[in-house]
Amino acid sequence: MRLTIKYPLTIITMALAAALVTGLVAYQISEKELRLAAERQSIEILESRKAALSRYLKSIEQDLALMATNRTVQEALGEFTAGWSTIDGRPQDRLRTLYVDKNPHPSNAHEDLDQADDGSAYSRTHGRFHSWFRQYIEERSYHDIYLFDTKGNLVYTVLKEADYATNLENGRWHRTDLGHAFRTTSFNKFPGFQAYYDFKAYPPRQNEPASFLATPVFDSDENYLGVLAFQMQLDPMDEIMQVSAGMGKAGRVYLVGLDLLIRNDPKFPKASEVLKAGDPTEFVNLALEGVAGAREITGAKGDEVLIAYTSVSFAGQAWAIISEFDLIEVLAPVTEMRRVMIWAGLFIGLLVTIVGVWFAGGLSRPIVTMTNIMQRLAERDLDVEVPASGRADEIGAMEKTLVVFKENAVERQRAEEELSQANEELQELNELKNKFMGMAAHDLRNPLGAIRGMSQLIVDLDLGEEKEKEFILSINEVSDQMLELLNDLLDVSAIESGNFDLNWQAADIGELLKNRIELVSYSAEAKGISISAKIDDIPFIEFDSARINQVVDNLLTNAVKFSPPDSVIDTEVRLQDTTIDVVVRDHGQGIPAHEINKVFTAFEKLSAKPTAGEKSTGLGLAIVKRIVDAHGGTIGVESVSSEGTTFTVSLLRRPNKNTAEQSDG
């Protein structure tokens, strides 16, 4: 994987992993803490409910005990019992007619009738005590107060409901809890006894839930008078259970009896749930067995619920208090935290990505740049620029190394180029040599063939003396040509191989020219050619006399060869600033412009021909050029067609002998 991807990816992965782990741990811890806190809170709430409920139930017990020993109650029970016995006919029917059927108040307000106007002793008693009892249940929030005589006749109730004035020992409602309460109490008629009957459907009240607490009543002489009973209301318990502090929106507290029925209206009931089946049963049973605790369960709908449970007992009766917390609500803070964390994580991820890419870029960019440069160097692209950031780190070291690499590569390439150029030159030289050898062999073969053929003819034929002499002269002439060619070849060979030492000596080049003119004058005169010489007053200069003789001879001989008969050859020796120039000018046919740059090339026989059948090896001017070059001088040629050719040799007045020789190996 490329560094530009790997570095940022590593950084981002690590950062995200760190953020994720931290977040997860924080989330887990928070969630656990919240759950524990919720558990503690629910247990606390439960305990406080339990305490409140206990206080309330205790107050009921105390109320009943106080009422039973209250003189007013004792007096009232005594008088109601007496009044009951003095009623004509069936007191049951009579009282129900008076206080229920003929009650001027509506059925839900029968208690407002203080006294029926029948003038009976009962009604007088009723008139004396009723308002007191009525006020009492209103103040103490009881549903009703019951007074029984010893036989079970319900001689007084505040509300005058269906049970009023019936006999609970054996009458219509004797199977109800009120009947049980009376009988149990009358059976256990000793002071302080209390019989409790838990909430249960109560038929006289259209099966509304009803709970009773009963106690025997004695007069001051401890004579048993009858039974006092309370019917408890649900509302106070509801109020206790409905305390909503810390319960959350969906939290509920249930009070559940042994019958697994709910005693209170839980918070926000759709309908009254009192005495409906308790739920969940498992925790109710646990609580009723006296176990307290809390547990998380998953509800039917997959919702998590925290259940706490404990029990409270009253008059030997156990109730379970169950609280339900919606964990979604409990965990709402961590849900919010999770949401915040996701956004924070995304933000951090983005930030880390940007920083990571930036940082990794800073790290990998120079490496990538370097890699590209190395690649280009590997591909021999030596124009590539190696950056010089001057960094003190490894990147800087890499740059420096790379500069060395590049320099080496440049050096190597230069060496290779030189080598290949040298190779090329060698190859060219080799080709030239082959060509040269081929030409030399060719030019040697013709005269040799002539020598062979003519000597053969002399032997084979009777040619006669004159003819034989002519043949032998020809052979001699051809042999001269061969010798000349071989000498030239050896010269060229010597010059080319660097085996060419100049014998530097100071001399007068003007004298040299005059001497050489004299030597060619014979062959010149044979063609009617005259040679003029115009020689400046010149100093001695250093040169190799033998070689310069060769040069001048060659130029003069060529001039004679290519001059038309009866023409003039002009020669000059000119004194120049740094050189002395030797000029030879003929008036021959000239050299065509396209051939002028070939005149100094070996074996280049040009189109111009000697004017009197003279021979040429084609090497003369090549040798001349090499000799002049070896002296550090120059040779030039100018030619005008049909007007003649001018050769100018320039020799240095102060030759640098070493470089002059070396410049032409």
Site residues, other proteins (CB under 8 A): 442, 445-447, 449-450, 452-454, 456-457, 460-461, 463, 467, 470-471, 474, 477-478, 607, 609, 613
Alpha-carbon dihedral 532, 537, 543, 546, rounded to 10 degrees: 30
C-beta of 454: minimal distance to other proteins in Å?
Answer: 5
Tell me whether residue 592 or residue 665 sits nearer to other proteins (CB atom): 592
Tell me whether residue 414 or residue 445 sits nearer to other proteins (CB atom): 445
Length of the chain: 665
Angle at 653 between CA 650 and CA 654, to 5 degrees: 125
C-beta of 485: minimal distance to other proteins in Å?
Answer: 14
Tell me whether residue 457 or residue 526 sits nearer to other proteins (CB atom): 457
Tell me whether residue 369 or residue 479 sits nearer to other proteins (CB atom): 479
C-beta of 665: minimal distance to other proteins in Å?
Answer: 32
C-beta of 441: minimal distance to other proteins in Å?
Answer: 10
Tell me whether residue 430 or residue 456 sits nearer to other proteins (CB atom): 456
Tell me whether residue 478 or residue 580 sits nearer to other proteins (CB atom): 478
- Sheet containing strand 634-640, edge to edge, reads 530-535, 568-575, 579-585, 644-652, 634-640
- Is-contact 98 115, C-beta < 8 A? no
CA distance linking residue 214 with residue 184, whole number of Å: 9
Tell me whether residue 30 or residue 474 sits nearer to other proteins (CB atom): 474
Q: In what helix (H) or strand (E) does residue 634 lie, and over which residues does it extend?
A: strand 634-640
Tell me whether residue 22 or residue 476 sits nearer to other proteins (CB atom): 476
- Is-contact 255 275, C-beta < 8 A? no
CA distance linking residue 531 with residue 533, whole number of Å: 7
Phi, psi angles (nearest 5°) of residue 35: -65, -45
C-beta of 405: minimal distance to other proteins in Å?
Answer: 53
Residue 11 is encoded by which pair of tokens? Answer: 């950084």
Other CB atoms within 10 Å distance of the CB of residue 60: 21
DSSP bridge pairs for 368: none
> What are the DSSP E strand ranges found in 142-192?
142-149, 154-157
C-beta of 581: minimal distance to other proteins in Å?
Answer: 33
**Is the alpha carbon torsion for 329, 331, 337, 340 positive or negative?**
negative
C-beta of 562: minimal distance to other proteins in Å?
Answer: 13
Tell me whether residue 443 or residue 661 sits nearer to other proteins (CB atom): 443
CA distance linking residue 379 with residue 372, whole number of Å: 10
Q: In what helix (H) or strand (E) does residue 415 lie, and over which residues does it extend?
A: helix 394-460
C-beta of 481: minimal distance to other proteins in Å?
Answer: 9
Per residue in 132-143, is it b (16+ CB within 10 Å) or e — as a string?
ebbebbeeeebb
- Sheet containing strand 195-202, edge to edge, reads 154-157, 142-149, 224-232, 208-218, 195-202
Sole residue written with tokens 């003029």 = 532
Tell me whether residue 393 or residue 466 sits nearer to other proteins (CB atom): 466
- Secondary structure (3-state) at 649: strand
C-beta of 614: minimal distance to other proteins in Å?
Answer: 12
C-beta of 601: minimal distance to other proteins in Å?
Answer: 18
